[in-house]
Amino acid sequence: MTKNTSRVPPLEALVARTRRRRFTVATLAALFSLFALYVAWYEAHGPGARRSDELPITQARADDALQANDATATAPTAAGADLVKRGEYLARAGDCAACHTADKTRPFAGGLPINTPFGTIVTPNITPDPDTGIGQWSDADFLRAMHEGIGKSGERLYPAFPYAEYTKVTDRDVLAIRAYLNTLAPIHYAPPGNSLKFPFNQRWLMVFWNMFNFTEGRYVPDPKQSAEWNRGAYLVEGLAHCEECHTPRNVTQGLKTGARFSGAVQAGWHAYNITQDKTSGVGGWSDDELVSYLSTGAAPGRANAAGPMAEVVADSTQYLTHEDLGSIVAYLRSVPPISGGESRPRDQWGNPADDVTALRGTKINAVNGAQLFVANCATCHSWTGQGVGASAPGAYPSLIHNSVVGASDANNLALVILHGVRRTTKQADVLMPAFGSQLTDDQIAAITNYVTRQFGNPQSTLTVDQVASLRTQQ
């Protein structure tokens, strides 16, 4: 009989082995659970998912002409002509061309310098050029830039690119814009670099700016409001990014949320109060006047778009559907009124002039505002200041009951004289020549002060030094 020489494992060894097995099984179970949770999350939130925050597009649609395609908008066929057409419309609503075009012969190739208190930011090339544009960007890269302000290489984007508003735009609309941009002619052009002072040239610092001024997330409709209101909110707060110009900024150059749409100064131009205050804002305007202003740049007896707003009308809002313009107006009607301290509405100043008779036979020995006005402005605006053509498209506007002339500061009026007006819409091609190269600073100050005194707010005046400063603004 052979003796069994194998040793019986001690009790402690058996316990340790059992514990190891249990630990291994528990670890595998935990990993499997995590994997299952990831799969479930991916199904709910991955690229193919339809998020709950995507729903506003059915209520906040930017193009009513494409309603028939809504049911198939996420199908593969959406990458075709309809998606591109929709993307073009949305790109116009976002006025992408305004910032990303410095040279009209190179549309969307960037290069436009934007002055900020921290230095100059130059806009990038967004044509599909693979080397200097976004030709090598994936859809995920584009979504991340629009929604989170992060570039392809993980770099933090500066808020001159209004991702704080674009974050509200649905994935589907962002990808439609992307589809349209992919159809543009690639332009091989590398814009100059930014010129920012230290430490503002350190992009990682944008993490802290975002903490105070940015909330990532798509627009969610307010169930208490109408579909029209929600569509207007989606446009105004998102693609149209109206707050970027019409809301004052805090010390970090973020928007002052407590003063939304109450007006602000951008590169010398005053973007006026568009709240419902009847004196300082647009509370006294009719819906038709607001729609007319956005679609043509003119609301006779109220205002005529010039400067950056003329570009917005020419490049963007004139192309919006009547439904979308009405939705924007409906939303603006709900913006709480904020007083700017004006004593009367900007468009309720002025009387016709009769200085031309007093000037006849008079020898002018010094800079004289009335004489300069008759010599340079009266041909189009009439020596009485009442304009020519009344409310017809392309009319030379009256300076009486004109919101630029009746404003509490004369910056915009002086800038119009310096740089002129060019506004091309479907209704008219409006052109006012620039006088900056023909007239000196003291002459422009004299005309400005004469016009505000006679046709507008007499308390609004400019000095020669202020005109010189405005002349340097980009």
Q: What is the pLDDT along the chain (474 residues), one digit of tens a residue?
A: 444 444 445 555 545 565 666 555 555 555 445 444 443 443 444 433 433 333 343 333 444 434 434 433 444 554 589 999 999 999 999 999 999 999 999 999 999 999 888 899 999 999 999 999 999 999 999 999 999 999 999 999 999 999 999 999 999 999 999 999 999 999 999 999 999 989 888 999 999 999 999 999 999 999 999 999 999 999 999 999 999 999 999 999 899 999 999 999 988 999 999 999 999 999 999 999 999 999 999 999 999 999 999 999 999 999 999 999 999 999 999 999 999 989 899 999 988 998 887 787 777 778 999 999 999 999 999 999 999 987 787 789 999 999 999 999 999 999 999 999 999 999 889 999 999 999 999 999 999 999 999 999 999 999 999 999 999 986
CATH topology assigned to domain 355-471: Cytochrome Bc1 Complex; Chain D, domain 2 (1.10.760)
Among residues 59, 184, 72, 203, which one has the least CA distance to residue 128? 184
3-class DSSP assignment, residue 186: coil
* Residue indicated by tokens 């209004």: 162
Report in angstroms the alpha-carbon separations of 455 from 347, 354, 355, 465.
10, 12, 12, 23
Q: What share of the chain is helix, strand, coil (3-state, %, to 5)?
A: 45, 10, 50
The Cα 431–Cα 53 span in angstroms is 44
**Size of the chain in residues:** 474
Q: Which residue has the tokens 């979504």?
A: 143
Residue ranges of domains in the chain: 46-222, 355-471
Pairing of strands 421-424, 303-304: unpaired
The residue written with tokens 């004469």 in the block is: 450
Q: Most distant CA pair in the chain: distance in Å?
A: 147
The answer to whether residues 114 and 122 touch, using CB atoms and an 8 Å cutoff, is yes
Give the span between the Cα atoms of 227 and 212, in whole angstroms. Answer: 31
